[in-house]
Structure 1
Amino acid sequence: MRNVPTLPEDRELSPYTGWTRGHWEAVADELLLAVRPYASPHHGLINLPGPRPSASGPRSDGLEGYARTFLLAALRVAGAHGDDPHGHLARYAEGLASGTGHTDGHDRWPLMADCPQAIVESASVALSLRLTRPWLWDTLDDRTRRRAVDWLLPALGPPPVDNNWWLFGLTVAGFLQDAGIETDLARRTIDRSLARIEEWYEGDGWYSDGDNRSFDHYNGWALHLYPVLHAHLAGDEDLLDRYGPRLRAHLDGYARLFGADGSPMPYGRSLTYRFAAASAPWLGALTGHTPLGPGATRRLASGALRHFLDRGATDDRGLLTLGWHGPYEPVLQSYSGPASPYWASKGFLGLLLPPDHPAWTGREERLPAETEDAVTALASPGLLVQSTVADGLVRLHNHGSSQSGGQDDPGYARFAYSTRTGPTTEPTALPDNHFALVVDGRPTSRGPAEPRGAGPGWAASAHTPCPGVRVHSLTLAHGRAEIRAHLVTGAPEGTPVRQTGWATTPGGPTAQLQPVHGYAVRTASASGPTLQGPRTRTAALHGTTGGGPDSLFVALASLTAEPDPTPVTALADIEITGRTLTVTWGDGTTSVRTCGPPGN
């Protein structure tokens, strides 16, 4: 396997992963060396091979290859205080000159007016120039710098996409401000961009990625990363005082979304960025705004990097593939091109920490998922995080994250995700962790989730699957047990309903799904590939609505990697009175919650 360093492991310093700063530097160099054969003659474009060009076209894909690997080179060299034994920056300096118009056009970058994707890539170019300014930008001739500025300036206008794209202009403006170029315009751009994302801050460290309650990894690798890193690089203590505590609050819950095997939670979009998920924990260590100990930060980040490299994220040429572990088309978006995975470069942010920083010198510490069985409510995004020490599994129960359009996007519309399973994606396959009415022979979509609160051991939401029908949903979790309750109101008598469980692969975790109330039949069937493997199997429970104004359906579920797990029925005893569930868990503790609209 390419990109896996041959350096000896250090199990004294890093008892969980074996990796040190030297391993990170070696991986960075290997990834950068692997893309060199695909550079254009003057290095302005890096045209990576792949069967799937992005919607923006091949020249945009080549710019993406340049910009995203430039960011990796910048972090590698800036972290070494300019030491560049492989000559990375010289190639990117030549590419900057050729891409902005120094050659006859074969290397030239698309303009932002013609190619909106260039706005995205301008942020990586500008951040890279900012990080390496003494060794690259300050050495360029005035003509090249002028052309580069002319190419960057359009990024300061309002973006065409009203989400985290506002932060690309902020990042370009931060570089220009540092370089003393168009400083008034840069300041206005920074202020306007920060004001826009302020409208999406929901509290407790969580932003929605736009006006659509889209809570996903963009919180870490964009919505926190760009403002906090800008404030840090600018030495702006006022901004750090505003955004640093938000990062700390975010990391308090976010760090719980990593399994003991290093896997970040596979939910949301752009999952092919993989270990970019480690950028926010590194940023917390860099700025001091983190609840994690130094050794836990490195444990999380090294675990995530190793998780993907050990499972085939790079091909035999050393190139990051479009997928999750290996190539996997269903996790991609229309904007994903051959170089898109190199946004994973953000995961190397820790190289900006000096070698003597405690995050590099401290002994690795256990992750939250390895310390105790825990169920943590993240009230602002409407998520419930459930982890178990015995198997290192983390499960995410989703009662608040959606994506615009009302469609059942597998990355958002499932009621549950885990670090050892992946959502089923084939349109004709049985969707995992889903509740639906069956109307005219077709299951309804979930639609946007409307959070209805979250607290110790529970989370609730509502949605409208079809006109006149409301579904109120409740999850209770304890240990590895999950109780899934749905109250259906407004549906005609005899309407079929279906609850599905976890989609598991052969040799993977054990999934259990048991009817408690309202269901009559249990089935199990093949459910197609997920990002964990080509074959899965998913159980389903089936029932019908009654003749009253509402119908309650309750199931008991479990996902565990423990060998020979006890039946799920031994984990909880459930009594139902009307809409109220009284649960006695296996350890003798109790929970009482009502499933339904507030006040009932």
Structure 2
Amino acid sequence: MRLPPPDHTLSPTTGCTRAHWEAAADALLAAVEPYATGDRALYHLPGPRQSWSGRLSDGLEGYARTLLLAAFRRDETALGRYAEGLAAGVAGVWPRIEDRGQPLVEAASIALALRLTRPLLWDRLDDTARGRAAEWLADALTAEPWPCNWELFPVTVGGFLQEIGHEPDAARKAVDHGLARIEDWYVGGGWYTDGDGRKFDYYNGWAMHLYPVLHAWLADDPRLLDLYGGRLERHLGDYARLFGADGAPLRQGRSLTYRFATAAPLWLGALTGRTPLTPGETRRLASGALRYFLDRGAVDGRGLLTLGWHGPDESVLQGYSGPASPYWASKGFLGLLLPPDHPVWTAPEEPGPAERADALTSIDAPNWLLQSTRSDGLVRLHNHGSEDVRYDPYYTRLAYSTVTAPATSYDNSVIVGDDPGRTGIEPLGVGDGWAASRHTTASGVRVTSLVLAHGAAEVRAHLVTGAVPGTPVRVTGWAAPDGISAELLPAVGLVDPAQAVDPAGSGGPGDGAGLVGVTGDGDTLFVALARLTGAPDPGPLERLVSVRADATGELAVDWRQGPRLRARLDGHGVEVHVRE
């Protein structure tokens, strides 16, 4: 992808200005154009797989998601092509919108694009095309969504149909229903779960906040904008801390192939004036995410976004991921709705949180502890509260970062016997430099976990309750890429596998990594020191912290340049106190 020369005066870190975002949008739109059908109603992008919805739905997805990019770009020539495709699509080419079907998702992108560009696209269609399009979209008002962020797709379609006066009562009902539905999943502090349970991930930003806030803004509804904009503003205070100094988002959760869609809520805050971030910080974080992926192979030799993270990567895909799925990255170009003279484009870049200082940030809703270090710009997420409805390595590992990916050997896990899955996570709280949770294995063993962090160092403690004496336990740490150092040292109840008395007892899931131990009579405590760092000379980990445990399982943790703590894990929960 050819971009303008970097402007390190206006953007000293990323070099990106509005011109770079425009050029990237233009290049992405040009690259997909050869894959449009003759009537421009479908975009059949090449790829090694189809989604479970099939080829026709995938072609609609290609149309809808790239239309959204054209809408943010407000390119009249491109929008003219999409107008042709719209007229053909609603004349019988596109699949119908049905219960829990992928066309419902794409209808939301189409409706949002039409609402954003009404004078440039919708108003230029003839009456026949407008009537057919409105009828096709209207099926979204009554189609049953999956009980998650999908509830907002009828809201987005309904907002547009209300505006044009098509089935206004049904449209209003769909909007009201969807907005009421997400109230069940708002847990405070600017955070939603993505449906029932404890699924905390980027869907907060690119769906749960995006659609209600945009609807309120487009409807010019002060009451709704105050409600949803206020939530967005609180969310962004945490969200800005999820980006590393190199621009990388945390590699956690599903649908990660949307890549720089992570920039969407940053721009949304600036667009609506509901953000705690300065204009320069907003652009720095958003442009950092764009450059991070473009510089690491997200676009192939044909100029197409691939299914993956950097380049192609099957590990981040879901069954619904098809060749056009990555183009939800279009949401990352939301900032182009802001005029060129807006401060978010004219203010000099300012450093993001990971560049300013070492920080430990506790986030109550998902029960997360964020740990960032200025020396290497890394952000680490200690997860003691997020999980999918099934075991998923992108949700249920103990930790994630901006430089690592979950490994097949169960990194960042505690493995009791042959049961590595951590499901049914019960949050036990977060505080100043700590986070804790509990889970019960399939065999009924209860594991209470606590992490304490300072600088780049971590103390990880696990109390195992209810296991048969002699049950093997493995504690694993970070799986680091080249150039990054990962350490895991035994502190209490653990040894290196090479030093295990019973080598056979060190096998099982994750064999070949981590530390091992065995349970005794009654509750057994296991403690390890861990560190993930990109610093060139971090010094010995064991000199940064000392850990002692007494017979009751109480821990004394002394950071060399930090607080002296007392921690206790038992059957009732976890307590952490500063020692005098």
1:581 is displaced (CA, Å) by 2.1
1:114 is displaced (CA, Å) by 7.9
Q: Which amino acid aligns with 2:474?
A: R
Instruction: State which of 280, 283, 287 in structure 2 corresponds to 1:295.
Output: 280
1:194 aligns with 2:170: no
Q: Secondary structure at the match of 2:496?
A: strand
CA–CA separation in structure 1 for the residues paired with 2:372 and 2:555: 23
1:332-359 deviation line (CA, Å, top 9, x unaligned) = 0000000000000000011111111111
Larger mean Cα displacement after TM superposition, 143-152 or 340-349: 143-152
Q: Secondary structure at the match of 1:595?
A: strand
Which 5+ residue runs of structure 2 have no aligned equivalent? 500-509, 575-580
Correspondence list, 1:317-466, <5 A: 317-405=302-390, 407=391, 409-425=392-408, 430-438=409-417, 442-466=418-442
* 8 Å CA contact 1:432, 1:538 repeated in 2: no
Which 5+ residue runs of structure 1 have no aligned equivalent? 78-82, 525-535
Q: Which residue of 1 aligns with 2:525?
A: 552
Q: Which residue of 1 aligns with 2:547?
A: 574
Normalising by structure 2, what TM-score? 0.95
* 8 Å CA contact 1:502, 1:538 repeated in 2: no
Q: Which residue of 1 aligns with 2:82?
A: 92
1:109-145 deviation line (CA, Å, top 9, x unaligned) = 1112388000000000000000000111011111101
1:563 aligns with 2:531: no
Correspondence list, 1:88-487, <5 A: 88-101=78-91, 108-113=93-98, 116-157=101-142, 159-405=144-390, 407=391, 409-425=392-408, 430-438=409-417, 442-487=418-463
Q: Which residue of 2 aligns with 1:30?
A: 27
Q: Which residue of 2 aligns with 1:9?
A: 6
1:589 is displaced (CA, Å) by 2.2
CA–CA separation in structure 2 for the residues paired with 1:63 and 1:299: 33
CA–CA separation in structure 2 for the residues paired with 1:498 and 1:185: 56
Q: Secondary structure at the match of 2:461?
A: strand
* 8 Å CA contact 2:243, 2:402 repeated in 1: yes
User: Does the C-alpha gap of structure 1 residues 523 and 268 become closer, same or farther in structure 2, counting only changes over 3 Å?
Assistant: farther
Q: Which residue of 2 aligns with 1:530?
A: none
Q: Which amino acid aligns with 1:293?
A: T
CA–CA separation in structure 2 for the residues paired with 1:467 and 1:500: 20
CA–CA separation in structure 1 for the residues paired with 2:159 and 2:145: 20
CA–CA separation in structure 1 for the residues paired with 2:511 and 2:213: 43
Q: Which amino acid aligns with 2:421?
A: S
Q: Secondary structure at the match of 1:199?
A: helix
Q: Which amino acid aligns with 1:278?
A: A
1:49 aligns with 2:46: yes
Q: Secondary structure at the match of 2:394?
A: coil
CA–CA separation in structure 2 for the residues paired with 1:576 and 1:124: 56
Larger relative helix fraction: 2
* 8 Å CA contact 1:44, 1:95 repeated in 2: yes
1:305-348 deviation line (CA, Å, top 9, x unaligned) = 00000000010000000000000011100000000000000000
Normalising by structure 1, what TM-score? 0.92
1:495 aligns with 2:480: no
CA–CA separation in structure 1 for the residues paired with 2:238 and 2:6: 30
1:303 is displaced (CA, Å) by 0.2
User: Does the C-alpha gap of structure 1 residues 599 and 350 become closer, same or farther in structure 2, counting only changes over 3 Å?
Assistant: closer
Q: Percent identity?
A: 61
* 8 Å CA contact 2:419, 2:441 repeated in 1: no
Q: Secondary structure at the match of 1:134?
A: coil
CA–CA separation in structure 2 for the residues paired with 1:59 and 1:387: 44
Instruction: State which of 478, 485, 489 in structure 2 corresponds to 1:510.
Output: 485
1:291 is displaced (CA, Å) by 1.0
* 8 Å CA contact 1:437, 1:496 repeated in 2: yes
CA–CA separation in structure 2 for the residues paired with 1:466 and 1:451: 18
CA–CA separation in structure 2 for the residues paired with 1:154 and 1:568: 60
User: Does the C-alpha gap of structure 1 residues 449 and 322 become closer, same or farther in structure 2, counting only changes over 3 Å?
Assistant: same
1:520 is displaced (CA, Å) by 2.6
1:595 is displaced (CA, Å) by 2.2
* 8 Å CA contact 1:513, 1:539 repeated in 2: no
CA–CA separation in structure 1 for the residues paired with 2:547 and 2:182: 43
1:591 aligns with 2:565: yes
User: Does the C-alpha gap of structure 1 residues 464 and 298 become closer, same or farther in structure 2, counting only changes over 3 Å?
Assistant: same
Pairwise CA RMSD of aligned residues?
1.6
* 8 Å CA contact 2:445, 2:466 repeated in 1: yes
1:223-244 deviation line (CA, Å, top 9, x unaligned) = 0000011101111110011111
